[in-house]
């Protein structure tokens, strides 16, 4: 029996209620939830226990792992397959912070492998929607050291050492593993990250859940994971009016922003990777060899490596993030 031909793939969102979550995943991005505290929509995930499943077409009901096993490099590319086997290398999310998230840090590949047999977690944020006055934390606000960090932490003043940034629509922040960070109240974020669910929670604002319990902290684990360097500039500078602009590129992912006001063609011939397109604004059609696929605000769509060309035809001016493994 012939297996179905690959096509652009949509997946069922994996929705996660969080103590800090809200309602914007439904009200802004049309996610299927009535929860008052839905914090995350895992759009495309290969994390064990949270594997994405195709929502439509001939491959409906197939999991991402099954697809990689069946289609191999035709889906993810030779280089990705060789390095990651059937592990999908990226985790794509939308995050709604109705309250501040905990102050946290993620380990790098070496530490995550040693401690958890996992990949590390380098990530980036794109601010989809920001309430007036919203802010976030990324890195330190001055040169520091492990000793100084512990002095601030042990005296309950850790927030005084951290770099607070005002955040507005279309802001971008790159967060390599080791950078202390948190998403602040009032932010709706698109997050691109390595496939990892390892977080060391440093401080949670003494918050309690519905049962009166505080959440577990990982103070000791975090100490050796933190990058204590001071970088000065934490917000990514880019041309926000360009039709196409690279936002970030690291060894794990490259993310471009596309502003689409008329039909454009994307040529992926030179990429040895799948491509993910996240729609942050507008709607329209992806045209590919063999068919068409509608897209709308909130969609995250995986373009298989085998599809070398697609055309984007917006019916409403569209803002898309284009993500791949470099």
Q: 141 CB contacts (<8 Å, ≥6 apart)?
A: 161, 162, 163, 164, 230
- How far is the CA of 13 from the CAs of 4, 49, 77, 255, in angstroms? 23, 14, 24, 21
Query: What is the spatial distance between Cα 274 and Cα 323, in angstroms, rounded to a whole number?
Result: 8
Tell me the H-state helices in the chain: 24-27, 64-71, 73-76, 78-84, 109-116, 146-154, 219-223
The structure's pTM equals 0.96
pLDDT value for 209: 75
Which residues are known to be catalytic?
Answer: 201
Q: Judge whether 52 and 91 are in contact, CB under 8 Å.
A: no
**Average pLDDT, whole number, for the chain?**
96
pLDDT value for 208: 78
Q: How open is the CA angle 62-63-64, to the nearest 5 degrees?
A: 125
Q: Judge whether 267 and 309 are in contact, CB under 8 Å.
A: yes
Query: What is the spatial distance between Cα 233 and Cα 316, in angstroms, rounded to a whole number?
Result: 35
For residue 265, give the H/E element and its range. strand 264-267
pLDDT value for 1: 65
Under DSSP, is residue 25 helix (H, G, I), strand (E, B) or coil? helix
pLDDT value for 205: 86
pLDDT value for 87: 95
Query: What is the spatial distance between Cα 326 and Cα 278, in angstroms, rounded to a whole number?
Result: 17
Q: Judge whether 75 and 303 are in contact, CB under 8 Å.
A: no
Question: What single DSSP character describes residue 4?
Answer: P
Give 163-186 pLDDT, tens digit per residue.
Answer: 999 999 999 999 999 999 999 999
Go through the domains of the chain in sequence order and give each one's CATH number: 9-223 (2.60.120.10), 244-324 (2.60.120.10)
For residue 183, give the H/E element and its range. strand 181-183
> In tens digits, what is the pLDDT along the chain, a chain of 326 residues?
689 999 999 999 999 999 999 999 999 999 999 999 999 999 999 999 999 999 999 999 999 999 999 999 999 999 999 999 999 999 999 999 999 999 999 999 999 999 999 999 999 999 999 999 999 999 999 999 999 999 999 999 999 999 999 999 999 999 999 999 999 999 999 999 999 989 999 999 888 777 888 888 998 999 999 999 999 999 999 999 999 999 999 999 999 999 999 999 999 999 999 999 999 999 999 999 999 999 999 999 999 999 999 999 999 999 999 999 99
């Amino acid at each position: 029996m012939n297996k179905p031909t690959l096509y652009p793939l949509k997946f069922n969102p994996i929705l996660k209620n969080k103590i800090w979550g809200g309602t914007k995943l439904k009200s802004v991005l049309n996610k299927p939830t009535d929860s008052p505290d839905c914090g995350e929509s895992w759009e495309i995930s290969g994390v064990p226990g949270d594997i994405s499943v195709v929502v439509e077409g001939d491959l409906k009901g197939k999991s991402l792992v099954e697809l990689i096993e069946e289609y191999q490099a035709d889906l993810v590319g030779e280089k990705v397959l060789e390095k990651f086997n059937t592990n999908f290398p990226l985790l794509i999310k939308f995050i709604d912070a109705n309250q501040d998230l905990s102050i946290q840090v993620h380990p790098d590949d070496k530490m995550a492998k040693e401690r958890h047999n996992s990949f590390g977690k380098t990530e980036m944020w794109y601010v989809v929607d920001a309430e007036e006055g919203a802010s976030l934390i990324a890195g330190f606000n001055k040169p520091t050291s492990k000793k100084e960090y512990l002095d601030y932490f042990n005296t309950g003043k850790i927030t005084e050492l951290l770099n607070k940034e005002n955040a507005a629509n279309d802001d971008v922040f790159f967060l390599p593993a080791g950078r202390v960070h948190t998403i602040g109240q009032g932010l709706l974020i698109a997050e691109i990250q390595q496939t990892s669910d390892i977080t060391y929670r440093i401080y949670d604002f003494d918050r309690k859940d519905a049962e009166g319990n505080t959440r577990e902290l990982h103070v000791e684990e975090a100490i050796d994971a933190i990058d204590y360097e001071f970088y000065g500039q934490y917000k990514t500078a880019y041309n926000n009016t360009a039709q196409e602009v690279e936002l970030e590129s690291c060894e794990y992912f490259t993310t471009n922003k596309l502003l689409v006001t008329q039909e454009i063609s994307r040529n992926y011939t030179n990429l040895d990777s799948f491509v993910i397109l996240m729609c942050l604004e507008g709607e329209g059609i992806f045209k590919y060899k063999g068919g068409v696929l509608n897209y709308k605000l909130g969609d995250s769509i995986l373009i298989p490596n085998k599809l070398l060309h697609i055309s984007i035809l917006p019916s409403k001016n569209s803002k898309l993030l284009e993500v791949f493994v470099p």
